[in-house]
Amino acid sequence: MDASGILENQIQQLEEKVKAALLPEDLLEKIEEELEILRSTLKAGPSAGSGSFATFESVFNYINWVTSLPFNKETQDTLDLTNAKQILDKNHYGLEDIKNRILEYLSSLILSMQGKKDQALKAPILCLIGLVGTGKTTLAYSIAQALGRKYARIPLGGIEGAEALRGQSRTIPDAQPGLVVKNIVHTQSKNSVILLDELDRIPQATRSDIMGVLIELLDPEQNIAFLDHYIDYPFDLSRTLFIATANNTNNISTAVLDRLEVLRLPSYTDEEKTIIAKNYLFPRIRKQSGLSESQIAIDDGIWPQIIRPLGFDAGMRSLERAIEGMCQKVARLIVEKKAQAVQITSKNIKEFLLT
């Protein structure tokens, strides 16, 4: 098949995708006009020059993005508080006060959503505040899991500008949709859970513009018609559940903070860390490292050295890295046939801890 035949086949596939997308009527009319541009470009052939191919590619990509948006797709909500509690208890040891507050929050959501399939969410946006490694991101995922919703994460730390969230105009070469639309397309659900991660780490130079977009995202009076500059057609985000995280509230604008319900996560105690490490982290990391239970064991008495190799750490990140390092060192010994199994004790612990 020659190049012209390949492009014609692509247009036919795109036309089928347009039919299946069930687009709003006025948007469908716009997309039909864009399809006509594709057909005209194809008819012009090679004589139209390289600019013609650039136009074809731009229009093709635009139609592909628009028809990938889930205008009429959403998952069935799981409105079961007992199930939510089981998921929170399974995924998170301790944090009883935080889990109870989340269950109270979910109770309000459940009451507001029962028997009201198309109603917009009016609940405040949860913002989980805590030091690095205290479980903010995993709690957000657990909420999505409890509701039976698709989950996506938008990292805001170091984000370059508002266009990263809202997209670029198609007049700009190589324009793309923003992260909001990209994640909605990824989840293929208009009622997904989207985590706005590291809200306090937005660069100072772009903070005011990005906070302006966040206000629109989080305000139920505005997000019913969120406008991405690339898509250039309003998309209803009123059924999307946004959750935010931050280390602190210092760099969050007052207007955004007013729309958040702040939950502050405490630091883990050494006792909590020991239980989490032994019962949750170590079994998971050991399995990920390809090790069986018989190939690695850690004496109970040395967990304090693993938990505090360099002093106090509020979260679990350092502990997780320490266990990963230990498992990898044991895996290497086994692969190099220097050992068949390793027992980590007070006598050899220094050999396995990362330095």
Tell whether domain 81-264 is in CATH 3.40.50.300: yes
In angstroms, the Cα distances linking 257 to 191, 211, 245, 260 are 23, 10, 12, 5
Which of 5-19, 38-52, 101-115 shows the lowest per-residue confidence on average (mean pLDDT)? Answer: 38-52
In tens, the pLDDT along 225-246 reads: 999 999 999 999 999 999 999 9
Domains 81-264 and 270-352 share a fold: no
Structure tokens at 291: 């090790």
Residue 231 carries which DSSP code? T
Q: Who has greater pLDDT, 44 or 250?
A: 250
* Residue spans per domain, the chain: 3-68, 81-264, 270-352
Question: Residue 145 and residue 131: Cα distance in Å, rounded?
Answer: 23
Least Cα distance to 150 among 90, 88, 194 occurs for 194
Question: The tokens 């990140």 sit on which residue?
Answer: 317
Mapped onto helix, strand or coil, the DSSP state of residue 260 is strand
- Residue 14 near residue 32 (C-beta atoms within 8 A): no
Q: What is the mean pLDDT of the chain?
A: 89
Q: Match domain 270-352 to its CATH number in 3.30.300.20, 3.20.20.30, 3.40.50.300, 1.10.8.60.
A: 1.10.8.60
In tens, the pLDDT along 120-132 reads: 777 789 999 998 8
Residue 64's identity, in one-letter code, is: N
Cβ within 8 Å of residue 95, ≥6 positions away: 135, 139, 265, 266
Long-range contacts of 326-329 (CB under 8 A, 24+ apart): 326/296, 326/298, 326/352, 326/353, 327/285, 327/286, 327/288, 327/289, 327/291, 327/296, 328/289
Instruction: Write down the pTM of the prediction.
Output: 0.84
Question: Residue 190 and residue 185: Cα distance in Å, rounded?
Answer: 9
